[in-house]
Amino acid sequence: MYANSVVAIVVLSLFAVATSSMAAQRIVLGELFTNTSCGPCRPANLKLDTLAIEHSATLALIRYHTWWPSSADPFYQANIIENTARRIARACRASSKFTLMGAWGAIPAG
């Protein structure tokens, strides 16, 4: 009985060490709601491009294209259902809006 307990403790200890040494790095999710016809969206997109490069190991970015100011946005037209569903889920009522891990924030243009 004692030997089984010792073996179990050793196995659990090795498992704990192995899993802690292989812990995955946390990736932050950023979502930008934008439109190709939106003037103020351009600086936000450029800033986000810079952040994506600077933090490529820790930041994942998704851009959703809304139907305003123009529903002719080719990225909106390419995936209307997903873009609309995500906009509704995030209660986005403006472009350009940015969420970081689901919380609203602002991207300074400068």
pLDDT tens, residue by residue, 66-108: 999 999 999 999 999 999 999 999 889 888 888 888 887 655 5
Q: What is the pLDDT of residues 13-28, one digit of tens each?
A: 545 555 555 667 889 9
Instruction: Provide the β-strand partners of residue 31.
Output: 62, 99
Q: Which residues contact 36 (CB under 8 A, 6 or more apart)?
A: 65, 70, 73, 74, 75
Q: Which residues contact 47 (CB under 8 A, 6 or more apart)?
A: 107, 108, 109
- The region of weakest confidence among 12-21, 35-44, 46-55, 66-75 is 12-21
Residue 30 confidence (pLDDT) above 70 = yes
Domains of the chain: 28-105 (3.40.30.10)
**Cα 44 from Cα 108, distance rounded (Å):** 7
**Cα 63 from Cα 16, distance rounded (Å):** 38
